[in-house]
Amino acid sequence: MSEVLVTGGSGYIGSWCVLALLANGHTVRTTVRDLKKEPAVRAMLRAGGASEDAKLTVCQADLQQDAGWREAVEGCDYVLHVASPTLTSLPKNDDEMVVPARDGVLRVLRAAREAGVKRVVLTSAFGAVGMGHPERSRVFTEADWSNVDAGIPPYQKSKTLSEKAAWDFVAQHGGIELAVVNPVGVFGPVLGSDYSPSLGLVQRMLDGDLPALPKFAMGYVDVRDVADLHLRAMTDPAAAGERFLAISGHSLWVREIAAILRDRLGDRASKVPTRELPLWTARALARVNPGLRLLRPQLGRNFDATSEKAQRMLGWSPRPIEDTIADTAESLLTLKGMTT
């Protein structure tokens, strides 16, 4: 089996990628910005069912610094670059998010190329595919790119420009293969308190923090299936030089997610709202409500996509999204019970 570096092993997708690699017999290294996080990383892996983590090494490396990356990638066959800089509040300007993301990708690619790594799998996002287009509804494919000149949010802009920088690097320098995974909204079981922001929507519905449901639709995918797609993109010869959208089925309106929660959880979903917020009201509230302000570009729109390419080329088969939503809710309720 291979030795694989996963950047950002303390993150939601990163931790599930580590679990999938260990389950498939690989030797794994993962990076954290602070080695004090190592016990938390190992605790999450045990929560995910890892019976043996002796084949895991945790090392320190920061995407915004050169130190540590040469040592992290030395001797590795593959790299899953999952980590991406995050901010706790809206940036004052886009470069606060764009520059660290782009520079981090290039830092990892340079180190991997110099170390003789065969292939890097980059975790990008649907945000690099479907944002900034005028259509109210369409099905996006890997041929699409977000329009960074259309005033898209900083996170999606950072994902677009960092992915483009990765493709440009490989085209210019060669010597390493690149494959990219572009997940839509990521749901699924949580291993700890550090999980995908997408799950905040489900948590708020369960807690009754949403008086009404915002009107927008987008795709969702299970984090376990995202990890599986990373492993397929890592080893399948056909994946080199390709990007792969990861979506389970088709897009869902928020009201459809709410209906699934009520159907699967019964009384435990009693706080999940049933009323959809009128679009004009949501747009007015978005001017003053920070949560809705982040959703303003999505209100009234249907961001759909297809994973036909991943299924056809790599044999990827995501689980039904209804099962994922139920597993997400069950996991969040369990986590809340453990922390209260």
Structural domains of the chain, ranges and CATH numbers in brackets: 3-339 (3.40.50.720)
- Tell me the C-alpha to C-alpha distance, in Å, between residue 183 and each of 107, 187, 294: 22, 10, 19
pTM over 0.85: yes
- Sequential pLDDT tens for the chain (340 residues): 899 999 999 999 999 999 999 999 999 999 999 999 999 999 999 999 987 678 999 999 999 999 999 999 999 999 999 998 765 556 678 888 899 999 999 999 999 999 999 999 999 999 999 999 988 789 999 999 999 999 888 999 999 999 999 999 999 999 999 999 999 999 999 998 877 788 999 999 999 988 889 888 999 999 999 999 999 999 999 999 999 999 999 999 999 999 999 999 999 999 999 998 877 676 666 666 666 566 677 777 899 999 999 999 999 999 999 999 999 999 999 987 765 5
**Token code pair at residue 297:** 């570009």
Question: Side by side, which strands form the sheet with 119-123?
Answer: 56-60, 27-32, 3-7, 78-81, 119-123, 177-183, 243-246
**What single-letter DSSP state applies at residue 83?**
-
Q: How far apart are the first and last CA of the chain?
A: 42
Tell me how crowded residue 200 is: count the other CB atoms within 10 A of its CB: 13
Active-site choice (118, 159, 271, 336): 159
Residue 278's closest CA among 249, 307, 255, 310? Answer: 255
> Is 159 a catalytic site residue?
yes
- Decide if 64 contacts 103 (C-beta within 8 A): yes
